[in-house]
Structure 1
Amino acid sequence: MLSYLKRLSRFVLRHPALVASLTVTGLVVGARQLNLLEPLELTAYDRMMQLRPALPPDPRLLIVEITEADIQALEQWPMTDAVMNQLFQKLEQHQPAVIGLDIFRDIPVPPGHAELSARFAKSDRIIPICKLKDTENPGTPPPPEVPESRVGFSDLAIDASGTVRRALLFHHLNLTSGCTTPYSFSFQLARRYLEQKGIQPENYQDALKFGQSIFKPLLPNSGGYQQADAGGYQILLNYRSGRQLADTITLSEVLSDRLNPNLVKGRIILIGATAPSLKDAFWTPYSTQGRQLTKMSGVVVQGQIVSQILSTVLDGRRVFWFWPEWAEIWWIWGWSLAGGLLVRSVRNPAQLALAEILALSLLLGISVILFFGSGWVPVVAPSLGLIAGSTGVLAYTAYKTQQERAYFARLVQEQENNLVALQALLKEKTLEPAIAPEQEPLTNTTQIAPGDSTGDSTAIWNSHQEAAPAPTGAETPSKSTDILSGRYKIIRVLGAGGFGLTYLAEDTLRPGKPKCVVKHLQPARRDDKFLTIARRLFRTEAEILEKLGNHNQIPQLLAYFEENKEFYLVEEYVKGDSLSDELPVDKRLPEAQVKELIKGILEVLSFIHEHSVIHRDIKPSNIIRRQTDDKLVLIDFGAVKQIQPQELSDQENLTVAVGTRGYAPPEQYAGHPYFSSDIYAVGIIGIQAVTGIAPHQLSLAPETGEINWRHLANISEEFAQLLQKMVHYHFADRYQSASAVMEDLRRL
C-alpha cells in the first residue's frame, strides 16, 4: 500500500495537469448529474439561438392573428360561432392546404352554432385544438363534431424556467375521454401538408421519419439537458426566427375581404390570438434578446414547430444533433486538461490571463459554430473545466512552491548551522593539522573569510588556483587512467578554483560513455568531527544543485559521492565556448547584441533567485554558449550559497565570501551577498561588452565609489541608465530582482 501511494505521489508530481483535469472533470460531471449546471447550459443555449442568423419568413405559412383591435371591433370574446364560420368560409374559398384553429371551441357560442358544427363535420381542412388532462387540469375537449384524426393537442413542452425549447409531437398515453388524440396540433398540420405532397410519416428504428428526414427523439440528457422531462416524443425546437415567422393578417382584414388570395392558396393557415389581454403567450430563447423581456404568442410557437418540420423535410434543414454522454465527458476533460497545460506552459501572469481568455474564446467559438450547424454541445461544463483546471494546477503549483520554499528554508538553516560549526572547528586549531595548499593571491575566483581579503584558516575546502594544472603530489586523481567511484574515468583537469579541482571525465557505466564534469572538493581537515559536519554541508549543497539543474540552462547534477574522505559532484558536460571568447579586449559589441546577451543571462538568474540562491561568481568564464542551441548556460555552481529571503537586517549572519574581482560588488567581499550582487555582476558584463574594457581596468569615482564608464560606451541614454542602476555601489540602489531588469529591458 505504501509503495502504491509513493508511485501515485510521483505520478502526480510528474503530471499535475493530467491529475487536475481528471479531478475537475469528475467534479463537473458530478455537478451535471445533480442538475446544477442545466440552468446555465440552457441560458447559453438561448444566447446562441439569439446569435444565430434568422431565416426568412416561411412562405408555406400564413398566420391569422386576433389582436386587441379585433376584439374591440367584435365587441365580445370569444367570437361567436357565426363569426368563426364566416372566417372559415372566407379562407376556404381560396383553397388553403390546411387550417389550424388555435382557439378552444368545446362550448357553443351562439348564434351560428349549427352552421359551424356542420362545417367542422364536413371540412377535412380544419384542425382544431384540445388540451390534455393532467393532475392539475381536467383538460379541454375538442369540438364534438370533429373526429379524433383531425384534432391536435395544443400542449407545449415547457422547461422549469417557463421557456419553450422543446416540441412535443405526440404522446403514448391511453386516454379514453376528453382530449384523446395522441398527436400534437403542430404535428397534425405538418403531416396533413406533407401528405398532400405524397410524404407519409414512418417509424424508422423507433424514430419518426418523413421522407429522407429522421427526427430522433430528445433524451433527458441531450445537449445541455440533464434531467429533462422527455415524456412522449419530443424534439428540440429549432426556431426559424425570433422576429417574423411568416406572413400575417388580422381577423378584421379577413372578414372585410382585405385579403390577398395568394397568401392563402396552398398554405397552412394558423388562426390564433396575439392580443396580450388573452395571455396566450410563452417565454422563448428570444425573450431576453432586447432591452425588455418579451413573450411569443402561442399560435406563433405552434407555427415555429410546423415550420421546423417542413423545413427539415422539404428544404433539407438539419435536425439538432447531440453527442453521446461519453463524448461530452471527453469534451469536458479535454478543456480541463487544456486549462492545466496552459498554466504549466505559460508562467507570466499577464500572458497566462490572456491565454486563458483566448482558450475560453476558442471554446465558445467552436460551440457557436457547431450550434450554427445544428449541433448542441455543452458550453458551461467545459468552460468551468477550463477555468477549474487552470485554477487547480495554479493551486497545486502554489502549494508545491510553498513546500519547496519550506524545503529550501530547512536547507538554509541546516547549511548555516553546518557552516558556523565548521568555521568554529577551524578556529579551534585542533591537534590534527588541516590540509591546506600554498597561500593563493586574490586574482581570480578565491574563497575569502569574512573581513579578510587574502583568505585564512577558516576556509572549509582546500583551494587551488583557477585554470592551473593539478599540483604535483596532490592527493587527487590526475591521470587519465584514474577512475572515481568505479565509473568516472578522468580525462583531464579542466581547472582549479576556490573550492577544489574540476575534471573532464567519462561515465564508463552509461551507454556511449558520455562526458561529464566532476568537481572535487577537499575538506580542510580530516578528523571525524570535522568530516561529519562537512559531509552534511556537502549533501545539502548537492540537494541545492540538483534542484537548480532542473532548468534547461543550468548543468544537471548527475551524481554526488564521497571517496577517501573527499567529496565529488558529477554534473552534465556542456559543450560550447565560454562567453569570454565573445568579449575580446578593445572590441565594443552593438547595443542590440548586448541587450540580448544580458536578457539571456537574466532569464537563468531569475530562476536561481526564485529558489533563493545567490550564484556569487557570475563572470564570462562561468557562462557557456551551448553549441546545440546557441543558448547561454550558467556553470560553476560549486560556490552557490542558500540564503533566506532578502531582508536588510542587523542580525544577518555573514557568509563565506566568494567572488571574482571586478565582477563581485563590495558587499560580497564583506560577506553580505544579496540578489542584487548577482545583478551587479551581470551589469558589469554588459559594461564590459559595450566598452571593450576589462572590469578591473575601469576607474572608480573617489567620492561615491561608482564606476566611471559612461564616456567609454556609445549606447543610448536609456540603456546606459539601466546598466548604471545594475552596478550602483550600494546594493540598495540597484535593481532588487532579475525580473525587474528584464521588465525595463522590454520597454527599451
Structure 2
Amino acid sequence: MMNSLSRLRRLQAFPILIISGLSFIFIIGIRWTGALEYLELAAYDVFMRLTPGISSVHIPIVLIEISEKDIQQQGRWPLTDSTVAEILTKLTNCKPRAIGLDIFRDIPVPPGTRKLNAILKRNHHIITVMKFGDGGVAPPPVLRGTNQVGFNDIIMDSGGIVRRGLLFLDNGETVSYCFDLLLALIYLQKEGITARPDKTNPQYLRLGKSTIRPFEKNDGGYIRADARGYQYFLDFRGNGVPFPSYSLQDLLSGKVDPRSIQNKIVLVGVAAQSVKDVFYTPYSRGLSGDKQIPGIILHAHIVSQLLSLALGESSPIRTSGELQETLWILLWSLLGGFMGFRVRSPWLFSIFGTTGLLLLSLTTYLAFLQRWWIPSVPPAMTWLISAAIVTAYVSNREKKQRKTLMQLFSKHVSPEVAKSIWERRNEFFHGGRPRSQKMMVTVLFSDLKGFTSISENMEPQALIDWLNTYMESMADLVMEHGGVVDDYAGDGIKANFGVPVPRRTEDEIAQDAIKAVACAIAMGEKMEQLNRLWQEKGLPTGGTRIGIFTGPVVAGAVGSPQRLKYTTVGDTVNIAARLESYNKDLAKNSTWRILIGENTMKYLDNQFKTQLIGEANLKGKYRKINIYRVFSGEGTGSSEKTGGAER
C-alpha cells in the first residue's frame, strides 16, 4: 500500500515538475533576449539606494566646484589658462596628495598658457583628463605621453544611468588608465599600495586589499553588455554629496582653510548646469534633469570607492556565475510549483505568493549588503508563473476529479463520507477515475420480499411510488451508517462498507462490519414502520431479506467515461448475494431477516444478538460456511442452533 501511494505521489509530482521546468525555460528564454534587463537593473538600483552609505569623515576627498555664479564672475567659459594656473597654484600650496583637474585643456586658452604648462610639468601629482569616445578630446599638449593624463570616459547603460566604471583600456600596444585610478594610486603611494596583477588570477587587478574582477557581458542582470576595457561595478558612497565642497570663488578669495585640503585628493570640475557635464546614477530615482549629478561628484564617488577597496574598508560588488544564477532561478521555479500544488485558496495563494516574494527580496538584499548581486526579477517571475500555472492545472484536475467522484458517489453516500472520500482521494484516484484495487469490504444485499405478487396487483404509478418510498428509506439508512449504495436491481439494493478508501487495519475492517450489521437492523426496523404506514393507507405491506459478508473484493470504476459506475466484484460479493437468498423460509414469519457469514461474525465483538443457523454450502460454492442470523437488540454473543429457534 505504501509503495502504491509513493508511486502515486511521484506520478502526481511529474506534471508539477514539467510545468515548473517549462516556466523556468520560458523565463530563461525571455531573460536571454534582454527583455528583463531593465527590470533587473531597476532592482539593482533599489538595492543600491537601500545600502547604507559610508561616512564622509573617512573620505579624503575635497571638491572645488565651478558653479554658474563662478562662471558669471569670471565672465567667460572656458576659464583662461591664467585662471586655471591660479587655481592649481593655490591648491598646491595647501599640500594635497593629488589634484584632479576634470576640465579639458586640449587647446590653449590664453592668457597664461606658459604659466599653466610650467605648473603642470612641475607638479606630477596633478592629473588632467582626456576622452576616447564621441570623437575624443586630446590631453593638454604639454602632458601628452606622460602619466599625468587619464581618460574620463563614463559608461552609461540604456536610460543614461551610470552603474559601471572603467579602470583602463588596452589596445594591445598601450594601456591607458582612467582619471580616477591615477588619482587613487597617487594617494595610495604613501600607504605602500600599487596596482598589480592578482596572484591567484593574473588577469585580475589587485589593488591593496581587494581584487577587482573585470566585468563580463552577462554579469548580474546584464545580457550581452559591452564589456570592452577593464570594467567593474560602481559602489556609490550614498545619496547626496558626502564630500566637502567649496566654490571657485571661495578658493580664489582665500576662504578655504589649507588644513581641509592637506593630504587629501582635490577634484576641480564644473557643477554649472550650462556646461552639461551631468549624469544619472542609481540614486537618481528618475530621469528628470534635477536628478542628475555633476561629473566632478561622480568622479569623487569613483575615487572614493577605489580608496575604500584598496584600504579594505569595502569589497567589490560580485556576481555568481551564469550556472549558479540559472540554478537559482530554477530553484524558485520549483518552489513556485510546489506552492501552487499545495495551496488552493486564492486568499492563501496571495499570502504565500507575497511571502515568497518578500523572502526572495530579503534574501537578495541581504546578499547585496554582503556585496553579492543575485538576480531577483527572474526568480520572482518564475515563482509567480509556476505557482499560478500549477494552481490552475491542479484546480482544473481537481475539478474534473470532483466531477467524476460526485458522479460516482455523491448520490450514494452521506455528506460526511463524501468529504472523507474527497480528502483521501489520492489514496484511490488516478488517471481521471478511481484506481482498481483489492481491498477488504463488507458487502450488503437486500431484497424486497413478495414484490412480484405486489407488482401484479398495483397500477404502474402507484407501484413506482410505493417502491421509491422503500428504496429511498433504505438508501438513506445505508448513507447514515457510512455505507455506499452500489446498485439498485429491481427491488434489491447492493451496498458496500469500506470503499472507496482502502482499510489498512483490522479495527477499520471491524468498524465497517459493525456499521453494515447495524444498518441492516435499522433497515428491518424501518420496514416495520413502512408497513404500518402502508396499512393505514390501504397499501400492500412487504418484508426484506438481507445478506452480509466480509472479505476481499476488487473495487473500481467500470463503464464508459460518460457512464462510470463504482462497484465491487469477487467471491465476497457472490457470497453476500447467496446469503440474502438463502433459505427464504426463514423469513416467512417475520418482516425482516438478516443473515451474515462467519467472516463478518468474527468482527462483531458480541455487539449484536445472533443465532447460528448452521453450516451450509451456498449455491455455486464448494466450501461450507457458518451462517448466522442477526436479531435486533444488543448482543452477548451467539446462541447455538436448536431447531432453527433462538435459545
TM over 0.5: yes
Aligned to 2:254: 257
How far 1:439 moved relative to its partner?
8.0
> What amino acid maps onto 1:340 in structure 2?
G
Q: CA offsets per residue over residues 638-669 of structure 1, 9 Å max, x none?
A: xxxxxxxxxxxxxxxxxxxxxxxxxxxxxxxx
Matched, 1:163 2:161: yes
Matches within 5 A, 1:242-641: 242-288=239-285, 294-404=291-401, 407=404, 436=447, 438=449, 452=467, 455=470, 493-494=513-514, 495-496=516-517, 497=519, 540-542=564-566, 560-563=568-571, 566=574
Aligned to 1:524: none
Count of matched residue pairs: 472
Q: CA offsets per residue over residues 61-119 of structure 1, 9 Å max, x none?
A: 01111001100110000000001001000000111101111110010000000111111
Moved more, 239-248 or 91-100: 239-248
Aligned to 2:429: none
The answer to whether the 8 Å contact 1:218/1:233 transfers is yes
Matches within 5 A, 1:134-153: 137-146=134-143, 147-153=145-151
What CA distance in whole angstroms lies between the structure 1 residues aligned with 2:226 and 2:183? 24
Aligned to 1:664: none
What CA distance in whole angstroms lies between the structure 2 residues aligned with 1:106 and 1:535? 92
- Structure 1 residues 520 and 232, CA, compared in 2 at 3 Å: closer, same or farther? closer
Q: CA offsets per residue over residues 360-401 of structure 1, 9 Å max, x none?
A: 111111111111221111111111011101111122123323
- Structure 1 residues 344 and 567, CA, compared in 2 at 3 Å: closer, same or farther? farther
- Structure in which a larger fraction of residues adopt strand: 2
How far 1:316 moved relative to its partner?
2.7
How far 1:148 moved relative to its partner?
2.9
What CA distance in whole angstroms lies between the structure 1 residues aligned with 2:573 and 2:76? 112
- Structure 1 residues 568 and 189, CA, compared in 2 at 3 Å: closer, same or farther? farther
Aligned to 1:38: 37
3-state SS, counterpart of residue 182 of structure 1: strand
3-state SS, counterpart of residue 230 of structure 1: coil
What CA distance in whole angstroms lies between the structure 2 residues aligned with 1:103 and 1:534? 89
What TM-score comes out, normalization by structure 2 length?
0.65
3-state SS, counterpart of residue 386 of structure 1: helix
> What amino acid maps onto 1:118 in structure 2?
A
- Structure 1 residues 250 and 412, CA, compared in 2 at 3 Å: closer, same or farther? same
Q: CA offsets per residue over residues 542-574 of structure 1, 9 Å max, x none?
A: 37xxxxxxxxxxxxxxxx4333873999xxxxx
What CA distance in whole angstroms lies between the structure 2 residues aligned with 1:413 and 1:54? 66
Consecutive unaligned residues in structure 2, runs of 5 or more? 1-6, 413-444, 452-462, 483-493, 495-505, 524-545, 578-647
Aligned to 2:111: 111
Higher Cα radius of gyration: 2
How far 1:56 moved relative to its partner?
1.7
Aligned to 1:63: 63
What CA distance in whole angstroms lies between the structure 2 residues aligned with 1:232 and 1:71? 35
What CA distance in whole angstroms lies between the structure 2 residues aligned with 1:459 and 1:130? 100
What CA distance in whole angstroms lies between the structure 2 residues aligned with 1:41 and 1:285? 12
Q: CA offsets per residue over residues 666-689 of structure 1, 9 Å max, x none?
A: xxxxxxxxxxxxxxxxxxxxxxxx
- Structure 1 residues 493 and 80, CA, compared in 2 at 3 Å: closer, same or farther? closer
> What amino acid maps onto 2:178 in structure 1?
S
> What amino acid maps onto 1:166 in structure 2?
R
3-state SS, counterpart of residue 141 of structure 2: coil
- Structure 1 residues 330 and 501, CA, compared in 2 at 3 Å: closer, same or farther? farther
The answer to whether the 8 Å contact 1:501/1:520 transfers is no
- Structure 1 residues 245 and 325, CA, compared in 2 at 3 Å: closer, same or farther? same
The answer to whether the 8 Å contact 2:558/2:564 transfers is no
What CA distance in whole angstroms lies between the structure 1 residues aligned with 2:77 and 2:377? 46
Q: CA offsets per residue over residues 150-198 of structure 1, 9 Å max, x none?
A: 11001011112211000010112257xxxx7611111111111112321
The answer to whether the 8 Å contact 1:281/1:296 transfers is yes
What CA distance in whole angstroms lies between the structure 1 residues aligned with 2:102 and 2:368? 31
Q: CA offsets per residue over residues 421-450 of structure 1, 9 Å max, x none?
A: xxxxxxxxxxxxx9836589xxxxxxx976
How far 1:301 moved relative to its partner?
1.0
The answer to whether the 8 Å contact 2:210/2:312 transfers is no
Aligned to 2:121: 121
What CA distance in whole angstroms lies between the structure 2 residues aligned with 1:329 and 1:163? 26
Matched, 1:185 2:179: yes
What CA distance in whole angstroms lies between the structure 2 residues aligned with 1:76 and 1:95? 29
Aligned to 1:421: none
The answer to whether the 8 Å contact 1:105/1:142 transfers is yes
- Structure 1 residues 493 and 362, CA, compared in 2 at 3 Å: closer, same or farther? closer
The answer to whether the 8 Å contact 1:449/1:459 transfers is no
3-state SS, counterpart of residue 332 of structure 2: helix
What CA distance in whole angstroms lies between the structure 2 residues aligned with 1:115 and 1:534? 105
CA-atom RMSD in angstroms: 4.1
What CA distance in whole angstroms lies between the structure 2 residues aligned with 1:188 and 1:567? 99
What CA distance in whole angstroms lies between the structure 1 residues aligned with 2:131 and 2:162? 17
What TM-score comes out, normalization by structure 1 length?
0.57
The answer to whether the 8 Å contact 1:98/1:267 transfers is yes
- Structure 1 residues 536 and 264, CA, compared in 2 at 3 Å: closer, same or farther? closer
Which has the bigger relative contact order, CA under 8 A and spacing at least 6? 2
What CA distance in whole angstroms lies between the structure 2 residues aligned with 1:216 and 1:334? 27
The answer to whether the 8 Å contact 2:59/2:304 transfers is no
What CA distance in whole angstroms lies between the structure 2 residues aligned with 1:127 and 1:568? 104
What CA distance in whole angstroms lies between the structure 2 residues aligned with 1:540 and 1:167? 70
The answer to whether the 8 Å contact 1:215/1:235 transfers is yes
The answer to whether the 8 Å contact 1:520/1:566 transfers is no
What CA distance in whole angstroms lies between the structure 2 residues aligned with 1:106 and 1:226? 36
3-state SS, counterpart of residue 100 of structure 1: strand
3-state SS, counterpart of residue 191 of structure 2: coil
- Structure 1 residues 217 and 408, CA, compared in 2 at 3 Å: closer, same or farther? same
What CA distance in whole angstroms lies between the structure 2 residues aligned with 1:152 and 1:73? 29
3-state SS, counterpart of residue 171 of structure 1: strand
Identical aligned residues as a percent: 30
The answer to whether the 8 Å contact 2:558/2:566 transfers is no
Q: CA offsets per residue over residues 577-597 of structure 1, 9 Å max, x none?
A: xxxxxxxxxxxxxxxxxxxxx
Consecutive unaligned residues in structure 1, runs of 5 or more? 1-7, 416-433, 441-447, 468-475, 477-487, 508-517, 522-532, 544-559, 570-748
- Structure 1 residues 121 and 12, CA, compared in 2 at 3 Å: closer, same or farther? farther
How far 1:493 moved relative to its partner?
5.0
How far 1:121 moved relative to its partner?
1.6
The answer to whether the 8 Å contact 2:209/2:311 transfers is no
The answer to whether the 8 Å contact 1:128/1:152 transfers is yes
Aligned to 2:72: 72
Moved more, 287-296 or 190-199: 287-296
> What amino acid maps onto 1:566 in structure 2?
N
What CA distance in whole angstroms lies between the structure 2 residues aligned with 1:287 and 1:261? 33
How far 1:37 moved relative to its partner?
0.6
What CA distance in whole angstroms lies between the structure 2 residues aligned with 1:409 and 1:123? 92
How far 1:451 moved relative to its partner?
5.3
> What amino acid maps onto 1:63 in structure 2?
L
